[in-house]
Amino acid sequence: MADVNERRFANLKIPIGPSHPALEEPARFLFEVEGEKVIDVDYEIGYNHRSIERLCQERPLSKVVYLVERICGICSHTHPLNHVERVEDIADIEVPARAKYIRTIYAELERIHSHMLWAGIAGHEIGYYTLFMYTWREREKVMDLFEMLSGSRIMHGCNTIGGVKWNVAEKQAKSALSVLTYLDTAADKITKAVLKDSNIAERGKGVGSLSREDAVRLGAVGPNARASGVPEDTRVMCKYAAYGDFDLEPQTAKDGDVVAQALVRLAELKQSIWLTKELFTNLPEGPIQVEYDEIPPGRSVGRTEAPRGELIHYTETNGTRFFERIKIRAPTLANIPSYVPKFLGCQIADIPIIAASIDPCFSCTDRMTVIKDGKRKIVSARELKAGRI
């Protein structure tokens, strides 16, 4: 009798993904629910593997910049920026100041449009489509700005080893400043719309909380960690590109819930708009690119702050036209473990907004998964380099 009852009251298992309207990219979550309450969660990533790292070893060194640019459609600047900084570090190339500033401008504009995109997606997940439409309409202004600066909305092709490819003309800087002034008021409006709305407060307060201890223990990065009160910002810590010239304060909040995530991202939105304005007004004169001879063998690890958090690139050269190894750790990979404490005990209705709250980017994340007959195989470094997996 007992097992009959058990079967009748067995908890419902709800699969979310790999293809689901709440997820912008494929990933699989399996929730065990009791009524509307989530009591267990399991996740699985690896649906988006494109073997970028392997491809990086297979093409001439100068073309890898364009390949790493295509890792992510949103972080299409911070990946190549980190990559060229690693190569410049190995080859000891000193980049001109103007190039550093232009790189920083692109990086900050990328953060602005990424955080606006996040606010829109958060609205979409809780069914607030007007917020989605509004933020994405304002985000178009940033995309147009990118088009004016580089000729392309998404794939800017700005970075190159030894500097940048696109200079900023006097006229462009002027019209960019007027767009940024407009965006500043738009950011205020979005902030007001998000923080003053009772429905958003009800849907976000205390939902998907992550304590400071858990954030540190699970290695959360970026806005996800800062929302839990961990003042970690790679821009402040590493002072790469032109960030050393500016005094930035990491934006933090306390609770780590959806409202805190929104607070951090909206504060960063304002901060980035301010910083981009400063960069445009203080743009130093000079060349934007330096010549380099050849890339010596060497290795370099470095971090940049992608809009989603800390991005790590490891680059190894061997003196030939090809890279020995490139390893990329995207921020979402570090943030995924923090899903578990966020999901436990939440309502089904909160699943999409919690899933979106860390701003996941699964296609950046999926490096490698080997599953054969349901068993994971451990791959040695030599096998990996040879591509025998």
Task: Tell me which of 10, 39, 133, 379 binds other proteins, using CB under 8 A.
Answer: 133
What distance in Å separates the CA atoms of residue 265 and residue 275, rounded to the nearest whole number? 15
CB of residue 180 to other proteins, shortest distance in Å = 21
Q: Could you say whether residue 40 binds other proteins (CB under 8 A)?
A: no
The radius of gyration computed from the CA coordinates of the chain, to the nearest angstrom, equals 22
- When binding is defined by CB under 8 A, the residue of 50, 60, 73, 129 that contacts other proteins is 129
Q: Are 85 and 94 in contact (CB under 8 A)?
A: no
Paired with 299 in beta bridges are 316
| φ and ψ of 39, to 5 deg | -115, -15
11 lies in the site for other proteins, by CB under 8 A: no
Q: Least distance to other proteins from the beta carbon of 128, Å?
A: 3
Question: In this chain, which of 115, 124, 139, 265 binds other proteins, going by CB under 8 A?
Answer: 124
DSSP 280-316: HHTPPPS-SB-----PPSEEEEEEEEETTEEEEEEEE
Among 125, 232, 257, 268, binds other proteins (CB under 8 A): 125
What string marks each residue from 345 to 364 as x (binds other proteins by CB under 8 A) or -?
--xxxxxx------------
CB of 161 closer than 8 Å to CB of 84: yes
Note the residue count of the chain.
Answer: 389
Q: Which one among 100, 139, 203, 303 touches other proteins, defined by CB under 8 A?
A: 203
Applying CB under 8 A, what is the total number of residues that bind other proteins?
31
Residue 20 or 327 having the CB closest to other proteins:
20
Rounded Cα–Cα distance for residues 99 and 168 (Å): 10
Q: Does 20 bind other proteins (CB under 8 A)?
A: yes
**CB-nearer residue toward other proteins: 10 or 301:** 10
Is 202 a residue that touches other proteins (CB under 8 A)? yes
- Closer residue to other proteins, CB minimum distance, 198 or 281: 198
Separation of CA 122 from chain center: 15
Determine which residue in the list 29, 106, 118, 128 makes contact with other proteins, applying CB under 8 A: 128
Using the minimum distance from each CB to other proteins, give the nearer residue, 24 or 89. 24
* Cβ 270 vs Cβ 181: under 8 Å: no
Give yes or no for residue 12 binding other proteins (CB under 8 A).
Answer: yes
Site for other proteins in 273-292 (CB under 8 A): none
Closest CA to 332 of 218, 208, 221: 221
CA dihedral for 382, 385, 387, 389, sign (positive or negative): positive
Task: Answer yes or no whether residue 374 interacts with other proteins by CB under 8 A.
Answer: no
Strand pairing partners for 43?
A: 29
Other CB atoms within a 10 A radius of the CB of residue 67 amount to 18
Can residue 131 be called a binding residue for other proteins (CB under 8 A)?
A: yes
| Strand arrangement, sheet containing 12-16 | 12-16, 28-34, 37-44
Cβ nearer to other proteins, comparing 58 with 202: 202
> Which one, 128 or 166, has the nearer CB to other proteins?
128
Give the residue among 100, 42, 254, 277 at the shortest CA–CA distance from 182.
Answer: 277
Q: Is 189 in the site for other proteins (CB under 8 A)?
A: no
Instruction: Note the residues at the interface with other proteins (CB under 8 A).
Output: 12-15, 20-22, 36, 123-131, 133-134, 137, 197, 199-200, 202-203, 347-352
